[in-house]
Amino acid sequence: MKKTISIAIDGPSGAGKSSLAKRCAAVFGLQYVDTGAIYRTVALAAIRAGFRSADPEEVSAFLRTIEVSIQYDSEGMQHMFLGDEDVTGQIRSPEVSVRASDLSSFPVVREYLMDMQRDLAKSHSVIMDGRDIGTVVLPNADLKIFLTASVEERAKRRMLELQAKGETVSFDEVVKSISYRDRQDSERAAAPLKKADDAIELDTSSLNFDESFAALSQLILDRFYVENGEG
Q: Name the site residues for ligand DC (rule: CB under 6 A).
A: 13, 35-36, 39-40, 97, 100-101, 104, 130-133, 181, 185
For the CB of residue 154, give the shortest distance to ligand DC in the complex, in Å.
11
For ligand DC, the closer CB: 197 or 230: 197
For the CB of residue 136, give the shortest distance to ligand DC in the complex, in Å.
8
Spatial CA neighbour of 151 closest among 120, 175, 187, 129: 175
For ligand DC, the closer CB: 131 or 157: 131
CA distance 133 to 191: 9
For ligand DC, the closer CB: 161 or 221: 161
What is the secondary structure of 168-213 as a DSSP string? ---HHHHHHHHHHHHHHHHH-SSS-S---TTPEEEE-TT--HHHHH
144: helix, coil or strand? strand
For ligand DC, the closer CB: 71 or 93: 93
For the CB of residue 22, give the shortest distance to ligand DC in the complex, in Å.
13
- Which value, in Å, is the radius of gyration of the alpha carbons in the chain? 17
Give the DSSP H/E element, type plus range, for residue 122.
Answer: helix 107-123
For ligand DC, the closer CB: 82 or 133: 133
Range list of β-strands (E), 73-177: 78-82, 85-86, 126-130, 143-148
CA distance 14 to 27: 22
For the CB of residue 225, give the shortest distance to ligand DC in the complex, in Å.
27
For ligand DC, the closer CB: 150 or 218: 150
CA distance 146 to 195: 6
Spatial CA neighbour of 31 closest among 68, 77, 65: 77
> Residue 129 pairs with which residues in a beta bridge?
9, 34
